[in-house]
Amino acid sequence: MVFNSFNFIVIFPLLFLLYYVIPAKHGKIRNLFLLVVSYGLYMMWKPVFALILLGVTAISYFTAMKLDVTNHRRKILTFGLIATLLPLLFFKYSTFICQSFSDLLTAIGCGNMSLHGLNWAVPIGISFFTFQAVSYVCDVYYKRQPVEHNFLVYALYLSFFPSILSGPINRASLIIPQIHGLRKYFDYDKAVEGLKLILWGMFMKVVVADRVGLYVDTVLPCYYNYTGVSCFVASLLYTIQIYADFGGYSLMAIGVGKLLGFELTENFRRPYFSVSITDFWRRWHISLSSWLRDYVYIPMGGSRCNKLRNSWNIFVTFLVSGIWHGANWTFIVWGLMHGVLQIIEKLLGWQKHNGGTFTRIIRIVITFLLVNFAWVFFRMPSLNDACKAISRMFDPSLPMSLFTTSYLDIIYVVFGVGVLFIKDFRDEFFSNKFLLFNNKRTVIRWIGYLLVFISIMLTGVLGSDQFIYANF
């Protein structure tokens, strides 16, 4: 159930009340309640896929238990990781692998060897809970994390409903101690902080992401009907959309976690103010990039090796990142573009910013444009479409006109994006000034809450009744 759905807004206060009705001394019952709720919400989509979640939980749990007592740790680790990753490979990548293999056979002249994938629905959140399970097994193997003997505690760690759909990818070392009761019965300050995050996350999602998405979803799927300028503007808006969507959702997840007394991993830190691609990955989807760093990049040798090997490590890490994002060559190319750009930065020593304000601004703009360029591959359904859309953006023979609907749509887009930019700009450069949600004066804080709430209600895309009618 997504946080910006009406169902969640109705159901969550009820769950919240029920959760806090359980007395503090019955911490285990509260955890059991959260586990039941997490599985219950997960099963609202396709109940049968809860078995996949349960299966991944059981495999990783017993792998970790076995790692604690066996002398064949490496074999158990290998077996456990393969078994944990198998559902992900099976559901998410089997069709892609079969299709790619089939295309390869056709390309090398083996006729029309058609291999059909499963084309099954992918269990929601499988990439997230699988990576959490892998991180737990690896941490137990490297003795960074004690084995969790309580199956229910471990099951709650993997299925915790605020983060199961879209992350953050939490580490066991962060969550399991909190499940064990090392959190207050009700932490008022944390709950208020959580509500602020939910409010701002909702603004990012429905006022910014969903609003600019109306334009993006009209232009990019039919790029061949629009001018290069329109395609470029749509790509810029998609860059904003994906940040506001994913960043907003992560904030809501963290906020819901805080309301229940949990601290989840920070996921975004104003990524479009990055001065390099390397910097971008320190700010974008932080829980994934740190996962890739700890479980792919560093085990391969990280940066403690020669330059060639280090470049290879970066390349493979971002190949994995691309594959993780989706079963399509577009994601792989997107990941590799980020990997190659980071290798270039590292070789040229550009990953750190040492210049003045002007240089910083230039670097922010260049990084933004590079990231924007890569997002086109992420958004388009195929490499062919991505290349055609990009070539349209640079086609001087096309008219320089911009597709627009009504000036009111532009006002809503400028309002949402403008407010988001001002907020991120303030957080980046004047973090202790012009406070709104954290202002000492109650009146200003409340005016801030009310304005954001009213903006959501009046300018947010709260249903699919808002759309851009593109003449067909």
Partner 1 sequence: MFLAFVVVADLAFNKAMSWIAPRVKGGEYGRDNYISNEVDADLLIFGSSRAECHYNAQMIEDSLGIISYNCGQTGHSVFLNYARLLMIKERHHPKIIIYDIAAGFDLLTDNDNYKDMSFLKLHYDRDGISDIICDIAPLERYKMLSGMYKYNSNFLQLLLVWLHPVSDAGIKGFRPYKNSNDVWLTPPPKRTEWEYDSLKISYLNKIIESTRDSKLYFVVSPLWQGMNTEIMKPAKEMCAKYNISFIDFSNDPKYVENTKLFKDYAHLNATGADEFTKDLIHELKK
Query: Contact positions toward partner 1, by CB under 8 A?
Result: 6-7, 10, 222, 224-225, 406, 408, 411-412, 446, 449-450, 453-454, 457-467, 469, 471-472
Closer to partner 1 at the Cβ: 64 or 461? 461
Return the residue matching tokens 């944990």.
84
Helix (H) or strand (E) holding 9: helix 6-21
In angstroms, what is the C-alpha Rg of the chain?
A: 23
Which distant-in-sequence residues (6+ apart) come within 8 Å of 252 by Cβ?
A: 3, 4, 162, 197, 198, 201, 202, 205
| Smallest distance from partner 1 to CB 8, Å | 12
Q: What CA–CA distance (Å, rounded) separates 97 from 108?
A: 16
Closer to partner 1 at the Cβ: 61 or 215? 215
| Smallest distance from partner 1 to CB 233, Å | 18
Catalytic one of 149, 325, 338, 353: 325
| Smallest distance from partner 1 to CB 466, Å | 5
| Smallest distance from partner 1 to CB 454, Å | 6
Return the residue matching tokens 């060639």.
308
| Smallest distance from partner 1 to CB 211, Å | 9
Burial class (CB in 10 A: 0-12, 13-18, 19+), 14: exposed
User: How many helices and strands (H and E) does the chain possess?
Assistant: 20, 0
Closer to partner 1 at the Cβ: 173 or 382? 382
The answer to whether 239 and 371 have CB atoms below 8 angstroms apart is yes
Closer to partner 1 at the Cβ: 21 or 408? 408
Q: Look at residue 167 and give its three-state secondary structure.
A: coil
| Smallest distance from partner 1 to CB 87, Å | 31
Per-residue tokens: 216: 């993006």
Q: What CA–CA distance (Å, rounded) separates 393 from 445?
A: 43
Closer to partner 1 at the Cβ: 301 or 463? 463
| Smallest distance from partner 1 to CB 213, Å | 14
Residue 353 known to be catalytic: no
Closer to partner 1 at the Cβ: 227 or 276? 227
Q: Which long-range contacts (CB under 8 A, 24 or more apart) does 215-219 make?
A: 215/409, 215/413, 215/468, 216/241, 216/379, 218/403, 218/468, 218/470, 219/403
Closer to partner 1 at the Cβ: 303 or 401? 401
Q: Look at residue 54 and give its three-state secondary structure.
A: helix
Q: What CA–CA distance (Å, rounded) separates 427 from 421?
A: 10
Annotated catalytic residues are 325
